[in-house]
Amino acid sequence: MAQSLPTILVVDDEPHSVAAMRMALEDDFHVLEANDAAQAWRMMEEHWVQVVISDQRMPGKTGIELLTEVRDRWPDTVRIIVTGYTESGDMIQAINEAGIYQFITKPWHPDQLLMAVKNAARLFDLARDHERMSLEMRYLGTAASARTEERRRVLQAGLGFDKVLRGANSSLNATIAQARHFASFDVPVLITGEPGTGKTDLARAIHYGSLRADRAFYEINCAGLGDEALAAELFGAKRGALPGLAQSRTGLLQKADRGTIFLNGIDSLSPTMQMAVLRVVTEGAFQPFGAHEVMTTNTRIIAGAHRDLRGRVADGRFRTDLYYALQVTELTMPPLRNRGTDIALLAETYLSEAAKEHAKVARGIAPDAIAFLESYDWPGNLPELRNEITRMLILAQDVTLGADVISRHILQARDPQGESNGYVPDFSQLEGTLKERVEIMEMRILGETLTRLKWNKSRAAAELGLSRVGLRAKLDRYGIEPAASIAEED
C-alpha cells in the first residue's frame, strides 16, 4: 500500500535558503514553503504538518515568536530553528519559550539538516503512538461498556436494522438477514436495486451493526456529479484546484477514516473514477484533487447500484476488477411492487411522520384506501408512497384517510370488481378487442370516480355526463359495488 510522505514546513525570508532546504529534504518529505510568519501560519492551518523548520531572523515575527505560537496551537508539531546567531541568551530563550527540539546553525550541511528532520519526524510519530497507547490503556477497562452503551444509543435513535421497515412476511426479510450476517465482517458490500428502494437505509443499518458503529457514516450519490466535483467531494482538493476554491477541502475519505462511506449510484461512474475508486477499495489509497501526494484511509466501502452491474460489466461499461472487488457480497433491495405485505405498515408509518411534521391530526388510513394503495405498482418506490401519503393527509377532511383523497392514477390502477390487483400502467398496454379494451377503461374510470366522490351517485353521474339510471345500469353490468366500509350516498 502506498504511503504518503511526512509533511514539513520550511520558513525563511531568503528564497535561496528555502530552495537549498527543499533540495536537501524533498526526496524524503513533502516540503511546504513560507517566507514569513503570517504565511507559515496559514500553511499550518491548511495542512497536517509534522515538523516546522524556521529561520530565527525574519521581518516581522522572529522564528522564536512563530514557534512559540505554533507550540500553543499545535503542541505535537516538532519545532526546529535555524540561526546564525549562537549567543547563549537566544538559545535559552528559545528553549524556554518555544520548546525548541533542536538548533541548526548556519552554515549547515545537507546531511546534518536531513538527519535532524528525520529524527524530528520520528519523534513526532513516537509521540503520537505513545499518546494513542496511553489512551487505549486508560480506557481499556471501560471499552466494553462504552461499546454497549453506544449500541444502545444507536438502537434508540433508530439507525440500525429496525429503521428498515418491513412486515413479518416481507420479501425484504431475506435481504435483511443476509445484511445482518455480513455487517460485522469488515468487507465491502454491494447493494443493488431500483432508485428509492431504501439502499441508503440498509447501508446505514450495516454500518451501525458493525464494529465501526461508533465512527462516522457518510453517503454520497455519484449519479449526476462530474468527475471533478465527485473527486473533490470524495478525495478532497487542494486550494486553487477548482474555480472558487479558496481553501483546501477535506474529502469524505479523510472524514470517514475508520468509519463507513456509502457510494450510491456507483453504476454511473466514469472509467477514470472507476479506476480511482478501485484503488481505494483494494489499497486504501487516494490522491486529493490537484495534489501529488498519496494519502491512505481505513474506510469501509459500501456501494449502491441502480442498474444491473453484471450487464454493464458484460458490455464493457463497468470495470470487471472493480465489480468483483465490491461484490464480496451482493444484497438486492426488492422494488415496492414486490412488497405488497409491507404497504400498510409503510403507509401508516409515513402518515404518523407526516402528521407530526405538519401538525395535523390523523388516526390512520381506512381499509378501502389501503386496498387501493396495495394494488398500485409504485414505480417511484418508497419516495412516491411517502409523497402520496403526505398529499392524502393535506387533502383529508377526516382524521381517518379514505380512498377519496387518493390520486386518480392510483385509483384507476385497481380493478373495481376486486378480482385482480394487477397494475395497468398505461391503457395502451391493454389487450383484447377494441370493445373489451373500452370496457376495461370504462370500468376503471367508473370505479375511480365513485371512490373519489365517496360513492355519491348523483355527483358521479353529473361528472360523467350520465343519468342516475344509466350509471346504475353500468354498475350492475360490471358488478361494481362499494366496499363494505363505505356507505352509498345519493
Take residue 298 and report the three cell numbers written for it: 481505513
Cβ neighbours around 176 below 10 Å, total: 17
**Same domain flag for 247 and 292:** yes
**Same domain flag for 177 and 282:** yes
Q: Kindly state whether residue 146 falls inside one of the protein's structural domains.
A: no
CA distance 423 to 409: 11
Residues 6+ apart with CB under 8 A from 353: none
Q: Which of 334, 367, 392 is the last residue of a domain?
A: 334
CA distance 79 to 100: 5
**Same domain flag for 433 and 453:** yes
Q: What are phi and psi of 116, to 5 degrees?
A: -65, -45
Strand 285-286 and strand 295-296: pairing?
antiparallel
CA distance 72 to 98: 9
Q: What is the pLDDT of residues 401-447, one digit of tens each?
A: 888 888 878 877 765 545 444 444 444 455 667 666 666 677 777 77
**Same domain flag for 300 and 214:** yes
Q: How far is CA 113 from the centre of its chain?
A: 45
**Same domain flag for 180 and 276:** yes
Residues 244 and 228: beta-carbon distance below 8 Å: no
Residue 321 domain boundaries: 158-334
Q: Which of 310, 334, 358 is the last residue of a domain?
A: 334
The rounded mean pLDDT for the chain is 82
Q: Is this model's pTM higher than 0.75 or not?
A: no
Take residue 467 and report the three cell numbers written for it: 343519468
Confidence band for 371, pLDDT divided at 50, 70 and 90: confident
Take residue 246 and report the three cell numbers written for it: 479558496
3-state secondary structure of 237: strand
pLDDT given for residue 409 in this prediction: 82
Q: Cell 398500485 belongs to which residue?
A: 376
For position 408, which CATH number holds?
1.10.8.60
Q: Kindly state whether residue 151 falls inside one of the protein's structural domains.
A: no
For position 212, which CATH number holds?
3.40.50.300
Q: Kindly state whether residue 474 falls inside one of the protein's structural domains.
A: yes
Q: Kindly state whether residue 75 falls inside one of the protein's structural domains.
A: yes
Q: What is the pLDDT of residues 203-243, one digit of tens each?
A: 999 998 888 888 889 999 998 888 888 988 899 888 766 66
For every residue of 267-297, DSSP letters joined together read GG--HHHHHHHHHHHHH-EE--BT--S-EE-
Q: What is the pLDDT of residues 7-36, one digit of tens each?
A: 999 999 999 999 999 999 988 999 999 999
**Same domain flag for 284 and 405:** no
Q: What is the pLDDT of residues 348-366, one digit of tens each?
A: 999 999 999 999 988 889 8
Cβ neighbours around 162 below 10 Å, total: 10
Take residue 350 and report the three cell numbers written for it: 409515513
Total domains, the chain: 3
Q: Which of 288, 306, 334 is the last residue of a domain?
A: 334
pLDDT at 149 over 90: no
Average pLDDT, integer, range 311-320: 92
